[in-house]
Amino acid sequence: MPAPEILRSAFNSFASGVTVVTCAREDGVPHGATISAFTAVSTEPALCQVTLTRTAKVCTHLDGRPFAVNVLAADQLRTALHFAGRPRDPEPEWTDGPVAPVLTGTAATISCTPWRTYDGGDHLIVLGEVVDAVVTAAEPLVYHGGRFRELSALVSDVHWQGSMDSPSSGWFDASTTFTRLRPHLERAAS
């Protein structure tokens, strides 16, 4: 196994967007945490995942509750720092979302109901079923190499050439079939 500093350096070589996961505490007060470990999982059903350090306060507030993934805009560095434990004044602005409180001014907001939570070692892997998504024209804030960044100009207009899963070629066509690794358990009707 690589040394922890090498592993962190390898993980930090992957550029990602910056998100703030938000939810309501038991007393109804909005709570959030900055994370860069967000992943789209599935479109049918609509699922996404966030990966949270087990010791993060948000884990206790998120347990079994609806949440939102707020994809921060390039001008929201102060918001990222605020929810990463470096409070800023004035505080970021909140608004009511479909299932959980959300932040204003984001590049996108993905509202979720709880789906599953999995053991991820020193992290928890939380899957949410997407019930609403809002996208704006704002450019996203990016995290790479331990630093916050903004998108730069396009290097090329080539878009995922050779991939069957490409927005320019229409994603997978309707005739594509996939072999399940494990059958899904049917969710009990609510």
Return per-residue pLDDT of the chain as tens, 190 residues.
888 888 888 887 778 889 999 999 889 999 999 988 899 999 899 999 998 887 777 777 778 899 999 999 999 999 999 999 888 889 999 999 999 999 999 999 999 999 998 888 888 889 999 999 999 999 999 988 888 888 877 666 665 555 555 555 555 555 666 555 544 444 444 4
| pLDDT value for 185 | 47
Helix ranges (H only) for the chain are: 4-12, 57-62, 77-82
- In the chain, where are the structural domains located? 4-159
8 A C-beta contact, residue 125 and residue 137: no
The fold adopted by the segment(s) 4-159 is Pnp Oxidase; Chain A (2.30.110)
> Structure pTM?
0.78
Ranges assigned E (strand) in the chain: 16-17, 19-24, 30-35, 38-43, 46-53, 67-71, 94-96, 101-103, 108-120, 123-135, 141-144, 147-150
Q: Please list the residues that pair with 23 across neighbouring strands.
A: 31
| pLDDT value for 45 | 93
